[in-house]
Structures are given as C-alpha cells and as structure tokens.
Amino acid sequence: MKNKKQIFLFIVTTALVLFTCQWAYRALDGDYGQTNFLYQYLINLPACFFIGAIDFLIINTLYKKFKWKDNAVRIVVDLLLTSLVAILFAIVGNSILSPFNVSDYMTKFALSLVIWNTIMVLLIEIFFYNQRQAEAEKRLATAEKEKLQYQYKTLKAQINPHFLFNSLNVLSSLTYQDAEKANLFAKKMSGVYRYLLLTNDRPTVTLREELSFLDSYIFLEQIRFEDALFMKVINGDTNLNRKVIPVSLQLLVENAIKHNVTTINEPLTIRIYISDQSITTSNNLQLRSSVDKGEVGLNNLQRQYALYNKSIDIRQTDREFIVEIPFIE
C-alpha cells in the first residue's frame, strides 16, 4: 500500500476502538471494577498497537508474495499465522511481566488476545478489499481514458489533411485518365472513412471486418504508389470471427509506408500472414533518412493491447521489420 499515513491511522484507530470496547465490556461485567482506566491503557494498549501492526505486516506480505486464487484460503492462512504470532507474543509478554503466574490467567489472556486478533485481521481484510476495489476502479478509469484517447487519435490521424490531400489528388488525376477506376477509387475511399467512423466507439472488431477495411485502404495506397508498393495477405484458414483492435492492421501498413522509401527503384513489399494465434506483418527495411513522427504509432497500439493483458512483438533484422499482434479473445 502506498498511503502509509492512512495505514497507520487505520491501525491506531482500530486498536483503540477494539481495546476500548473490550475494556468497557469487562468493566460493565465487573472485571475492571477496581482497576484504573489509565493504567490499562498505558500497559495494554501499546501491545494492541504492536499486534495490529504485525497483523498488517503479515497480511500485506502474504498478499504481495503469493497470487491467491481463493480469498477464503488466504483469510484462513492469515488468521492462523497472525494468531500464532499473537499467542507467542502473549507467552513472551506474560513470562516477562509475570514470570510466576502462567496458568489460568495466561490461558484467559491468550484466548482473549486470539479473539481480539481475529477481529483485527478481519477488519484489515476489509481494509485491503476496499483498497483493491479503489485501485481497480482507478485502473478501469485510466484504461477507459486511454482507449478513448487512442480512438480519437486514430481517427484524427486518418482524417488528416495529408491523407485526404493525397487521396483527392489521386482521385483528380484518375478522373481524367480512367473514369471507371476513379469511380472505384471514390467508393474505396468512402468505405475507408465510413469504417473509421463506424468503429470509432467499438473496442474490437472481427478479423473479417478489419480485412475488408484493409483491402480498401491497400487499394488506395497501391493506386497512389503503383509499382512501388507490393502487398500480400496470406490467411492460413483462420476463423474470420476472431477479434482484433480496429484499424490495427492498417496502422501497421501505414507505419511501414511512412518509415520506408517507396519508389519504383526501391519498391516496398509488405506481407501479412494470419495464423490461428496471431497476425504477423513484415516489410523489407529501407528506412527514410528523415520522417515526421506522428502521435499514433506502435506505442499507442502497445497500450491498447495492454488493456487486454496482451502484448505485441516487434522485431527488426538487417533486412526486415516485423510486428506480430495477437487476437483479442
């Protein structure tokens, strides 16, 4: 736990309340009728603080060191260990304070201490539970914020002046050269933007939807670069209903085009291989001397997969740049 002050105040408050309740109960019952109230606090309360701190330390250590699948088992282990420590503390404390009186009083004292310790452990467990819930809600809010930021940045990156300007230039040229191809280009271009708008608020899409979108995007880029760009998609009989993050494949293709020279003398070849477990994109490496780095890239894609406890594998050899992304189960 990061908030040490909150932890300290919790232990002190809990010990104080439990001890006060115990003292009040025994006083009403007649046990403390002749006993000084201040004396009881000065002698026994520090011991209660110590036991509470030890309980918290044991529970916190077990929580960090072990991945418990069953909370009930963890609580039982916590109770056994803390009770054992409490009994040992009672034995040592009693032998120091009353070395010649270890019989009936010792039994009653140890029993009451175990009961007190059990209540303390359960309260600490409730405290831990509330802390975990608060942290989980915070992580969820952060994840949701990152997802929305990614969706916004992705849409913004695609609907930008450069992409739109290049596409409109190509469409304008095709209008005079090949009306039929210009018509097809316009349909593919509208399909690209329609997909971006429709999937902007969807966390995942099917592989079938993503490949259909990618086909339209590749068509636009191949018309633009002609024989300078070669694309090959290989699907090894993968279930097309598998889930992926929207625009992830397009982002990988765009990343390859953006960072590499794409000319007739140095054509860029991009291969996409789809297996049962993942999708691998590779391209021949011929890096540009300088490139304008945008906001959306592999780092954003990494963060998106991290939200699903997944990661993407990025590798670079002397000749190839390879990115492997998993499916979202």
Task: List average pLDDT for each run of 10 residues in the chain, which is 329 residues long.
Answer: 60 64 58 51 64 77 73 77 76 61 56 71 78 80 70 55 72 80 85 82 87 89 88 83 88 88 91 91 87 62 82 90 90
pLDDT of residue 130: 79
pLDDT for 304 equals: 79
Q: Which of 114, 141, 168 is the last residue of a domain?
A: 141
Domain that holds residue 53: 4-141
Counted domains in the chain: 2
The pLDDT value given to residue 90? 66
173 lies in the same domain as 132: no
191 found inside a domain: yes
Per-residue CA distances from 268 to 257, 285, 294, 320 (Å): 8, 8, 20, 11
Question: Crossing angle, helix 207-225 and helix 248-259, to 10 degrees?
Answer: 20
Q: Considering the domain boundaries, does residue 149 fall inside one?
A: no
What is the domain-level CATH number for residue 199? 3.30.565.10
With 0-12 CB in 10 A as exposed, 13-18 as middle and 19+ as buried, what is 129? exposed
Residues in a beta bridge with 322: 282, 315
Residue 147 lies inside a defined structural domain of this protein:
no
Q: Would residue 148 count as lying in a domain?
A: no
Residue 154 resides in a domain: no
Which candidate, 162, 189, 167, places its Cα nearest to that of 292? 162
Residue 247: left (phi > 0), alpha (psi -120 to 50), or beta? left
Angle at alpha carbon of residue 53, lines to 51 and 56, rounded to 5° = 110
What was the pLDDT predicted at 321? 93
Report the predicted TM-score, pTM, of the whole model to 2 decimal places.
Answer: 0.55
183 and 126 in one domain?
no
Same domain, 197 and 315: yes
Do residue 195 and residue 93 come from a single domain?
no
Q: How many CB atoms lie within 10 A of CB 274?
A: 23
Residue-level pLDDT at 295? 44
In a shared domain, residues 229 and 129: no
Domain co-membership, 78 together with 34: yes
- Final residue in a domain of this structure, among 77, 111, 141: 141
Q: How far apart are CA 15 and CA 49, in angstroms?
A: 6
**How far is it, in rounded angstroms, from Cα 233 to Cα 219?**
13
Res 322: pLDDT: 93
**Residue 270: its pLDDT value, please?**
94
In a domain, 151, yes or no: no
In a domain, 104, yes or no: yes
CA–CA dist 111, 35 (Å, integer): 21
